[in-house]
Amino acid sequence: MKRFLRSEEGFTLIELMVASLLSTIIIFSALSLLDNTTKAERGAQARYDVAISLRQSIMQTTKLVRQATAVNTTSTQTLLDIQTFVAGSPARVVYDVSGTDFRWTLCPSANFAFTQPCGGTASVIATRVSPPQVFCYINAVGGCDSSPPTASKSVRVTLSATPDVQAGSGSITLSSDVELRNVH
């Protein structure tokens, strides 16, 4: 037993330094891989969140626009003023893009006519929206007009948004052609 304790065999200082260096390289590589994976996941989650938000906004907008009974002729590419039904009751709704926010306003019943200002409080339904053309009014030959022609029976709603975190590509765009069922 005494001979075992007196043995001077072991690792040299150089061997310990090499082992420490290799361990450090392996640890930094693993941390770098973890960091890159986390960034990629954050980017994918941001894109997913934007896509979900846009899809919900398109669905809500499509539902009310489809039920429209009239489209205000002063509507533009960034503003859509319609008379429609909300919860089964006639209502006037205004959709617009303000900065990068896509908003909707439910006008008070006293302001139902297009000749009166809406007067309601706008609610943001999508953020980071990229204007300039959100609304396109389909004309008789299938082309896109920047304002509603008197015979417009469809509206194309196009929403584009860019995620907070860049995930390797630009904006996400969703579009829906909405047939106006109740406009005669």
Per-residue pLDDT of the chain (184 residues), as tens digits, is 555 555 567 888 899 999 999 999 999 999 999 999 988 888 888 888 888 989 999 999 999 999 998 888 888 888 999 999 998 899 999 999 888 889 999 999 888 888 888 888 999 998 888 866 788 888 878 788 877 766 668 888 988 888 876 555 678 888 898 988 877 6
Q: What is the DSSP string of 101-158?
A: EEEEEE--GGG-STTS-----EEEEESSB--S-SEEEE-TTS-EESS--TT--EEEEE
Q: What are the backbone angles phi and psi of residue 95, rounded to the nearest 5°? A: -105, 140
Q: d(Cα 9, Cα 4) in Å, to the nearest integer?
A: 10
Contact at 8 Å (CB) between 141 and 161?
Answer: no
pTM score: 0.75
> What's the pLDDT score for residue 115?
87
